[in-house]
Amino acid sequence: MTLQLECQVRLGALDLDVELAAAPGEVVALLGPNGAGKTTLLRVLAGLQPLDAGRLELDGAVLDDPEGGVFVAPERRPVGFVFQDYLLFPHLSVLENVEFGLRSRGLPRERARDWLQRAGLGRLAAAKPGALSGGQAQRVALARALATEPRLLLLDEPLAALDATSRAELRRELKRHLDTFAGIRLVVTHDPVEAAALADRVVVLEGGRVLQAGTHADITARPRSRYVADLAGVNLWRGRAEDRLVRIDGATLAAIESHRGEVFVAVQPRAVALFRRRPDGTPRNVWQGRAAGVDYLGDRARVRLEGTLPIVAEVSRAAVEDLGLADGSEVWVAVKAAEVEVYPA
Amino acid sequence: MSVPAPDSPFFRASASARRRRERPPLALALAGGLGAALFALPLLGLVAKAPWASAVGELRAPESLDALRLSLVCSLSATAIALLLGVPLAWLQARAEFPGRSLLRALTTLPMVLPPVVGGVALLLAFGRQGLLGRYLFDAFGIRLPFTTAGVILAEAFVAMPFLVITVEAGLRSMNRRLEEAARTLGAGRWRVLTRVTLPLVAPSIFAGAVLSWSRALGEFGATITFAGNFPGRTQTLPLAVYLLLETRPQAAVILSLVLVAVSLAVLVGLRDRYWVAA
C-alpha cells in the first residue's frame, strides 16, 4: 500500500505544487499555516479536487492523471475522509450515518453497529448529529470513515473543532483508533504537538510548497522556515558560512562543523546562557544584549533579547530573579559553539 | 446600597420608559394600520355579507360541487407536474453551469409577474389547435389541450410552477454542499447523493414550494379562462365559478370566495413561521 502524488493545482490565490509519497501503514502529518494548501491536498487525494497536472497513484492504481486522461470519481476511490467540521448528515441518525458508507459501497450494513461499539457510541445509535457533543461527533465521523475500510484515511484538523480541555484526551483516543487502522493515514494539522503525537513523519507545507519533511525531532531541530521555527520555539537565522564561522547580518556565530555558503543557523533557547557580567569561560559566542520581554511558562522563563543578534533564551524563573532581569536591562548572552546547529539552506 | 421600594418613582419611571420604548412612532403606526385595513376590510366584507344560513346549501349545489371537485383535481395535478418538472429545473438552475442560465432563471420566474391573461394567450399560441406545438400534438396524436381539463392543469402548472422552482432553488443554494462531498467520499454516486442527501436536506423547501404552488394553482383565473374557457364540469374551476355566479347567484359567489380565502389563509399561516421567517 503505497501512495505517490505529484500535484499541481491552481485555485484562486493558491498555487499548489507538491510531491508526496507515503509508505504502507505510515502516518504522515501535514503541518502548515492557513492557506498553505493542506486541505486542498486532501481534496485532491479524495478526488474532490481534480489535478491540473501531475499524477496520483495508490497501490499501483492510477487515480488521477490529467495527461493520461484518467480520473477516478471520489466514490470509487478507497479513501476515507474525516472533515474538520465532521459533516455528519443532519437528517440521519448516528447509526444511519455510519451505515451510509457501508450501503453506498455495497458492504453489509450490520457492521455499522460494531463500529459504533468500538468507538464507544453504542448508546447514541439513534441520536441525531445535532444532539452530539463535539467529541462524540468527531468519533462518529471517524467511525463513519473507517467503516468503509479505506486504504487511505484523510483527517482534516480532526481536533480543531474541540475545546482545549477535551482535546488532549481525544488526541490520545484518536491515536488509539488510528493505530488499529492498517492503511496510510494523512493528518492535516497546524498544531506541532498533534503532529508529533499522531504521526511518524511530518511534512511542512507553506505557500503551496513542501518546505521540509522528516520526523518531528528532525524538523524541530533543523527548521527551514520562520513558521516551523516559531512553532518549535527555536531561534532561526539565515546566514553565510565560511568554515566554522557564520555571518548573520552584522553578527558572527562560531560553530563546530565547517560549512560554506548559504546556511540556516538554529539555536535552542535552552542552550542560551545569560550573565550579569561578561563571562570569561569557554563559550565561544558571547555578546551583550538587552532584555525586551519575559514570558513565564511555569517555572521556566523565555527572555527575548535585543542586540547585535536578537535571540530568545529559556532560563529558569529563579535565574531571572537572580539576574534582576527587567525590560531594558543589559545582560551578557553566551552560546557554546557546540549548540550552534548549522545546515545548508 | 438600599433597594428602592416597589412604589418608588424609580420603578414607575423605568416601567413607563419600557412602555414608551415599545410604542412605535405614531406616523408609522397610522400608515401601517391603514395598510392592514386595506387587506382586512375586503375580507371583513366577505365575512359580513356571507349568507351563513344558506351556506351549506350553496356549497352542496351541483355547480359548486363540480367546481370544487374540478379545482381540487386540477390544482393537485398541476402541483404534481410542478414537482416532477420543477425540482429538476431548480436543481439545474442552482447547480449546473451552462450558458444562458440567468436567462433561463428569468424565463422560469416570468409567469409570476406576467398578467395571467397574457400567459393564457401565450399558451394558446403554443398549444392551441393552430399553435406552435399544439398543431402537431393534434395531427399526430389527436391530443387537444385548449378548452379541456388537461388545458386547465397546464395553465395552472404554467402559473404555479415558478413558486416551486424559486423556493427549491433557494433551498439548494443555501444547503451545505460539502455534505454532498462527504457523501461521495463515502462511496455514494451522484444519483445516490441526490436521493439520499440533497433531496432529504431540501425537503422542507420542496414542501413549502409545493404548498405555495398548490395554493397559487387553486386560485388561478386569467390563464385558465383564456386557455381553457369556462365550461362547467370540465374547465370551470372555483375562481371561474365565482366570477360567473356573481352575475346570477351572488350569494353563492360569496360562499365559494370564502372557501378560497380560508384555504389560502390556512396555507400562509401554516407556512410562514416554519419556512419563510425561520429560513
Residue B43 lies in a domain: no
CA dihedral for A40, A45, A50, A53, sign (positive or negative) = positive
pLDDT at residue A77, rounded to an integer: 96
- Say whether A48 and B187 touch across the interface (CB within 8 A): no
Taking an 8 Å cut-off on Cβ atoms, the answer to whether A89 and B181 are in contact is no
User: pLDDT class for A190, splitting at 50, 70, 90?
Assistant: confident
B148 is a domain residue: no
Q: Count the neighbouring beta carbons within 10 Å of the beta carbon of residue B265.
A: 12
Helix (H) or strand (E) holding A19: strand A14-22
pLDDT band at residue A162 using 50, 70 and 90 as cut-offs: confident
Q: Supply A21's cell numbers.
A: 509519497
Q: How confident is the model over B74-90, as pLDDT tens digits?
A: 999 999 999 999 999 99
User: Residue B1: its pLDDT value, please?
Assistant: 41
**Whether B182 and A79 lie within 8 Å, measured CB to CB:** no
CB A162 within 8 A of CB A141: no
Q: Provide the shortest C-alpha distance from residue A139 to chain B (in Å).
A: 15
Q: Which residue of B has its CA nearest to A154?
A: B185
Grid coordinates 524563573 are at which residue? Answer: A317
CB contact under 8 A, A89 and B183: yes
Interval B94-98 mean pLDDT: 92
Domains of chain A: 3-230 (3.40.50.300), 235-344 (2.40.50.100)
pLDDT for position B2: 46
Which of B137, A57, A248, A267 is CA-nearest to residue A256?
Answer: A267
CATH code for position B257 = 1.10.3720.10
Residue A48 Cα, gap to closest chain B Cα (Å):
7
- In this predicted model, what pLDDT tens digit does every residue of A60-80 receive, in sequence order? 999 999 999 999 999 999 999
* Cβ-nearest to B189 among A75, A87, A101: A75
User: Is residue A54 predicted with pLDDT exceeding 50?
Assistant: yes
DSSP 8-state secondary structure symbol assigned to residue A91: T
pLDDT at B274: 59
Q: A85, A86, A91, A128: best mutation site toward chain B, by most B Cβ within 10 Å?
A: A91
Task: Give A328's pLDDT tier (boundaries 50, 70, 90).
Answer: confident
Average pLDDT of span B18-43 = 87
Q: Pick the residue with more confidence: A282 or B83?
A: B83
pLDDT of residue A345: 86
Q: Which residues pair with A55 in a beta bridge?
A: A6
Mean pLDDT of A322-328: 84
Q: Name the average pLDDT for chain A.
A: 91
- Residue B31: inside a domain, yes or no? no
**Does a structural domain hold residue B264?**
yes
Which whole number is the average pLDDT over A116-129?
Answer: 91
Q: Decide if B93 is inside a domain.
A: yes
| C-beta atoms of B187 and A83 within 8 A | no
Q: Who wins on pLDDT, B177 or A298?
A: B177
Q: Which three cell numbers stand for residue A199?
A: 504521526
pLDDT (mean) for A197-207: 92
Retrieve residue B31's grid coordinates.
Answer: 400608515
Q: How confident is the model at residue A320 (pLDDT cuts 50, 70, 90)?
A: confident
Cα dihedral value B50, B51, B53, B59, nearest 10: -90
ipTM rounded to 2 decimals: 0.83
Give the pLDDT band (50/70/90) at residue B277: very low
pLDDT at B139 over 60: yes
Q: Which three cell numbers stand for residue A297?
A: 511558562
User: Which residues form the domain of B94?
Assistant: 54-115+161-221+233-277
Q: Does B139 map to a domain?
A: no
Run of H or E including A135: helix A134-147
Determine, yes or no, domain membership for B168.
yes
Q: Is B241 on the interface with A (CB under 8 A)?
A: no
Minimal Cα distance from A150: which residue of B? Answer: B186
Average pLDDT in the B200-210 region?
Answer: 94
pLDDT at position B201 is: 96
Model pLDDT for residues B257-274, shown as the tens digit of each residue: 998 998 888 888 887 665
Distance from CA of A73 to the nearest CA of B (A): 8
| Residue B84 is assigned to a structural domain of this protein | yes
Asked if residues A308 and A252 have their Cβ atoms less than 8 Å apart, the reply is no
Please give the model's pTM, rounded to 2 decimal places. 0.81
Q: Which cell goes with B97? A: 453551469
More confident residue, A264 or B6: A264
> Rounded to an integer, what distance in angstroms lies between the CA atom of residue A110 and that of residue A104?
13
Q: What is the 3-state secondary structure (H, E, C) of chain B?
A: CCCCCCCCHHHHHHHHHHHHHHCCCHHHHHHHHHHHHHHHHHHHHHHHHCCHHHHHHHHCCHHHHHHHHHHHHHHHHHHHHHHHHHHHHHHHHHHCCCCCHHHHHHHHHHHHHCCHHHHHHHHHHHHCCCCCCHHHHHHHHCCCCCCCHHHHHHHHHHHHHHHHHHHHHHHHHHCCCHHHHHHHHCCCCHHHHHHHHHHHHCHHHHHHHHHHHHHHHHCCCHHHHHHHCCCCCCCCCHHHHHHHHHHHCHHHHHHHHHHHHHHHHHHHHHHHHHHHHCC
Shortest Cα–Cα distance, A158 to chain B (Å): 15
Between B236 and A282, residue with greater pLDDT:
B236
Q: In total, how many domains does chain B have?
A: 1
